[in-house]
């Protein structure tokens, strides 16, 4: 028993799945429902979350908003909560959302209200606003004013002035007039008065109707309807942006059309909100989709008096390549699809901002409009392709022939085949025919619109044979044969010889002309790959250069020895096939506590697999040897190989007991002890270890 390590493992009477589950790292705090402390969230994490939220909003699209004009794949979707649009499912067709969704999903809140430093004169004052009154000229003074909860502000020398619901400009006029009784220079123009806001009181408003997040919101003091809608997530897929209603606490009301601001650039009146305002977003009356050769493909909301020309204007107008007619998809009363023809697209174009110039065609809710792009053939364009310096499309001039077209494209490249130039011409039935000319302009074939002048590559036309390099070079390759090709040049391009290659001689395997056989030509080299080496090793098409192995080459075989030796390390065998016992006696300086009987030999083999790429795999395994008797000459020895490793352990006087015992670990070996003795020394079995232990160690 001396020197051996024994290991016991006493199993648990539990299912394996339960053990694995308890040890799974993913069973973390998150799976227990624990919530992260909000104070630990970093600004970078908040910014990333906002970016992800903005992207998800941008990518969201209106239900049933896909458009395609393929009749055979069209289908119709109806929903009581959404507008019905004709929908198809072509491959990778773009999805369109309402135009205003882009604004509300991307824009920052600051884009929807004026900065506090530039509050306009029409701002309505309210309780909680902080103001600054400035006098300059003959008198220079500054007063800090505050509007109290009754709407009054105290002005030195004048007293309390009620400014509630007055605009900033109106309050300045009243205060200026009252100050004239204190400062006579104001009426004489010697003293100037200015009233401006320092800090605005928040505005409490309510956003209701067809918005994503209806409810009450506290907004900056100079907020407008745009900011309120932004905070509410914007209109939902059914919400209107053309008839937004603002109801005041005093009973007044106003309507806001966001298209005036977003598409027409108009400053919308009644935009600043007041405490208690209710912003109500009703359902949209008419939603129409516009796609095709227009500026902005999207879904737009139209008012009752707006027609197809207004839709095209909202969509950015017609593109220069728009052509032919407009295709209009509509569901009839029975829910079946219809395609209408309103007429040529240009008839509905608004010119110079005058809507009277455009034809009127009324649209219905759910219509889908598609503007065709021109697919007419070019009338004055030719194409020059192939082996010219500047292949591209060019303008066709009167009387232009093949010669002029090639010159226009910069002329021939070096590899151009000049003896025959091909002209590809389309027939009336869309088939092609091919005409030919040459660089000398023998015919100088006159070109027609959409002709393609093709200059061929001489390398492609010629029937080439390859030559190859194989054997003991770093990167064996195949080359295209050329005149005066030298074998040494190709070997050099392959990275040169491998260390075990024969460098004084190569073989050339050459096809025997007229016979189904190959001859091998052995060529001697001088000075290896230097320029001074043979220069007459010219190749013929189909030659195969083979670099042979140097049979006298020997690469040292390195063996590792570790463990209870005083000179652990890597050593080369004395000769190929040196035996394990000889190597140990020659190299190893054994430690006094070395356990020779436990000596082990490990072998590693490399396997190379070549498919499209070369893959090398390593296989390691242990070879059982009786090292003690090998050293005494009483056991069969084994020859060492490169990458072998020898391990000689130290003498160990412990027994390792693991598993379901009270005190698992190493226990000093005692002569005559059996398993029960070592289990007792480890504190005995646990309750879970009892059932299995009884089967292994009967009582």
Q: How far is CA 211 from CA 59, 205, 272, 279, in A?
A: 18, 14, 20, 10
Which residue is it, tokens 């129409």?
Answer: 288
How high is the pLDDT of residue 613?
66
* Residue 405 binned pLDDT confidence (cut-offs 50, 70, 90): very high
Which of 161, 183, 199 is a domain's end point?
199
386 and 328 housed in the same domain? no
Provide the pLDDT for residue 395. 92
Lowest average pLDDT, out of 342-346, 531-535, 669-673, goes to: 531-535
Total domain count, the chain: 6
Residues 110 and 233 in one domain: yes
* Closest by Cα among 284, 269, 349 to 85: 284
* Confidence label for 407 from pLDDT (cuts 50, 70 and 90): very high
* CATH code, domain with 638: 3.10.560
pLDDT in tens, 425-447: 988 787 888 888 877 767 788 99
Mean pLDDT score, 658-668: 87
Residue 330 maps to a domain: yes
User: Is 90 exceeded by the pLDDT of residue 75?
Assistant: no
pTM above 0.75, yes or no: no
- How is 134-196 classified by DSSP, letter by letter? EEEESS-EEEEEE--TTSEEEETTTEEEE-TT-BHHHHHHHHHHHHTTT-GGGTTTSEEEEEE
Same domain, 110 and 222: yes
Average pLDDT over residues 506-529: 84
Closest CA to 659 of 636, 635, 691, 628: 691
Asked, for residue 219, whether it belongs to a domain, the answer is: yes
Ramachandran angles phi, psi of 596, nearest 5°: -65, -40
Q: What is the rounded average pLDDT of the residues 522-527? A: 79
- Whether the CB-CB separation of 597 and 649 falls below 8 Å is answered with no
110 and 212 belong to one structural domain: yes
CA distances from 270 to 248, 253, 260, 516 (A): 11, 9, 13, 97
Question: Is 183 inside any structural domain?
Answer: yes
**What pLDDT shows up at residue 477?**
92
Is residue 263 within 8 A of residue 300, CB to CB? The reply is no
In this prediction, what percent of the chain has a pLDDT beyond 70?
79
CATH number at residue 442: 3.10.560.10
Q: Tell me the average pLDDT across 639-646.
A: 92
Same domain as 562, residue 644? yes
Domain boundary among 418, 446, 461: 461
Q: Summarize pLDDT for 295-343 with one digit per residue, the tens.
A: 888 999 999 989 999 899 898 888 888 877 788 999 888 888 899 988 8
User: Within a domain: residue 70?
Assistant: no
Biggest distance spanned by C-alpha atoms of the chain: 130
In terms of DSSP bridges, do strands 203-209 and 278-281 run parallel, antiparallel, or are they unpaired? Answer: parallel
Instruction: Write out 296-313 in H/E/C secondary structure.
Output: CCEEEECCCCCCHHHHHH
> Is 90's pLDDT higher than 90?
no
Residue 309 tokens read as 């020309």
Using the predicted structure, report yes or no on whether residue 193 has a pLDDT greater than 60: yes
625 and 577 housed in the same domain: yes
In the prediction, which pLDDT does 59 show? Answer: 40
Token code pair at residue 153:
């502000």
Does residue 632 lie in a domain region? yes
Looking at the fold, whether 409 and 420 belong to one and the same domain comes out as: yes
Residue 36 three-state SS: coil
In a domain, 697, yes or no: no
Q: Verify that 266 and 347 share a domain, yes or no.
A: no
Instruction: Please indicate, yes or no, whether residues 506 and 575 belong to a single structural domain of this protein.
Output: no
Average confidence (pLDDT) over 117-141: 84
CA 333 to chain centre: 45
- Residue whose structure tokens are 């500054």: 142
pLDDT 10s digits, 2-56: 444 444 555 444 333 333 233 333 333 333 333 334 444 555 655 555 555 444 4
- What is the CATH number for 125? 3.30.1950.10
CA distance 145 to 167: 15
Residue where a domain stops, chosen among 549, 569, 584: 549
Do 251 and 110 have their domain in common?
A: yes
Pairing of strands 544-549, 466-471: parallel
Q: Which residue has the tokens 């409810």?
A: 215
Are residues 306 and 320 located together in one domain of the fold? Answer: yes
Q: Is position 51 within any domain?
A: no
- Does residue 68 fall inside a structural domain? no
Owning domain of residue 224? 106-114+202-281
Residues 212 and 110 in one domain: yes
pLDDT band (50, 70, 90) for residue 566 = very high
Please state the length of the chain. 699
**DSSP state for residue 602 in the 8-state scheme:** E
Strand 645-648 versus strand 558-563 pairing type: parallel
């Amino acid at each position: 028993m001396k020197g051996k390590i024994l290991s016991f493992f006493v199993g648990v009477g539990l299912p394996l799945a339960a053990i694995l589950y308890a040890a799974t790292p993913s069973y973390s705090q998150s799976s227990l429902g624990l919530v992260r402390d909000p104070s630990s969230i970093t600004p970078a994490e908040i910014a990333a979350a906002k970016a992800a939220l903005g992207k998800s909003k941008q990518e969201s699209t209106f239900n049933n908003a896909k458009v395609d004009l393929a009749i055979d794949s069209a289908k119709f979707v109806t929903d009581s909560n959404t507008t019905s649009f004709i929908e198809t499912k072509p491959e990778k067709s773009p999805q369109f959302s309402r135009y205003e969704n882009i604004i509300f999903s991307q824009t920052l809140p600051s884009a929807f209200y004026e900065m506090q430093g530039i509050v306009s004169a029409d701002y309505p004052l309210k309780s909680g606003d902080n103001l600054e009154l400035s006098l300059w000229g003959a008198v220079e003074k500054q007063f800090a004013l505050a509007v109290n909860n009754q709407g009054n502000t105290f002005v030195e020398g004048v007293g309390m002035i009620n400014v509630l619901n007055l605009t900033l400009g109106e309050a300045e006029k009243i205060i200026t007039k009252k100050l004239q009784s204190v400062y006579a220079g104001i009426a004489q123009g010697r003293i100037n008065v200015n009233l401006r806001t320092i800090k605005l009181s928040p505005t409490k408003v309510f956003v209701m109707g067809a918005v994503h997040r209806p409810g009450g919101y506290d907004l900056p003091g100079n907020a407008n309807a745009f900011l309120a809608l932004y905070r509410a997530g914007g209109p939902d897929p059914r919400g209107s942006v053309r008839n937004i209603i603002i109801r005041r606490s005093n009973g007044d009301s106003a309507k806001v059309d966001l298209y005036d601001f977003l598409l027409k650039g108009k400053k919308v009146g009644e935009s600043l909100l007041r405490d208690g305002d209710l912003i109500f977003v009703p359902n949209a009356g008419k939603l129409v989709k516009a796609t095709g050769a227009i500026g902005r493909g999207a879904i737009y909301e139209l008012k009752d008096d707006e027609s197809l020309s207004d839709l095209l204007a909202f969509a950015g107008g017609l593109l220069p390549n728009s052509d032919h007619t407009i295709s209009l998809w509509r569901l009839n009363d029975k829910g079946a699809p219809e395609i209408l023809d309103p007429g040529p697209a240009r008839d509905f174009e608004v010119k110079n901002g005058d809507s009277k110039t455009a034809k009127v065609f009324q649209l219905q809710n759910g219509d889908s409009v598609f503007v065709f792009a021109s697919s007419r053939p070019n009338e004055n364009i030719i194409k020059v392709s192939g082996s010219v310096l500047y292949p591209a499309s060019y303008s066709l001039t009167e009387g232009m022939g093949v010669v002029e077209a090639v010159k226009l494209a910069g002329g021939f490249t070096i590899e151009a085949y000049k003896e025959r130039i091909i002209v590809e011409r389309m027939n009336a039935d869309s088939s092609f025919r091919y005409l030919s000319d040459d660089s000398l302009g023998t015919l100088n074939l006159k070109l027609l619109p959409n002709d393609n002048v093709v200059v061929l590559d001489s390398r492609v036309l010629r029937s080439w044979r390859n030559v190859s390099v194989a054997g003991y070079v770093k990167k064996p390759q195949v080359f295209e044969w050329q005149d005066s090709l030298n074998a040494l040049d190709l070997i050099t391009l392959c990275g040169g010889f491998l260390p075990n290659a024969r460098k004084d001689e190569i073989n050339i395997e050459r096809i025997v002309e007229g016979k189904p056989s190959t001859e091998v030509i052995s060529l001697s080299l001088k000075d290896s790959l230097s320029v001074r080496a043979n220069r007459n090793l010219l190749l013929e098409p189909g030659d195969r250069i083979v670099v042979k192995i140097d049979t006298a080459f020997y690469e040292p075989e390195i063996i590792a020895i570790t463990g209870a030796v005083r000179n652990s390390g890597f050593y080369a065998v004395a000769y190929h096939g040196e035996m394990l016992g000889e190597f140990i006696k020659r190299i190893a300086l054994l430690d006094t506590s070395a356990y020779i009987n436990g000596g082990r030999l490990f072998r590693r083999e490399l396997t190379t697999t070549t498919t499209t790429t070369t893959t090398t795999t390593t296989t390691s395994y242990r070879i059982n040897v009786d090292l003690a008797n090998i050293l005494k000459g009483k056991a069969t020895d084994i020859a060492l190989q490169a990458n072998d490793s020898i391990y000689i352990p130290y003498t160990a006087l412990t027994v390792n007991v693991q598993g379901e015992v009270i005190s698992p670990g190493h226990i000093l070996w005692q002569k005559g002890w059996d398993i029960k003795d070592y289990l007792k020394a480890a504190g005995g079995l646990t309750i879970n270890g009892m059932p299995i232990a009884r089967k292994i160690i009967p009582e």
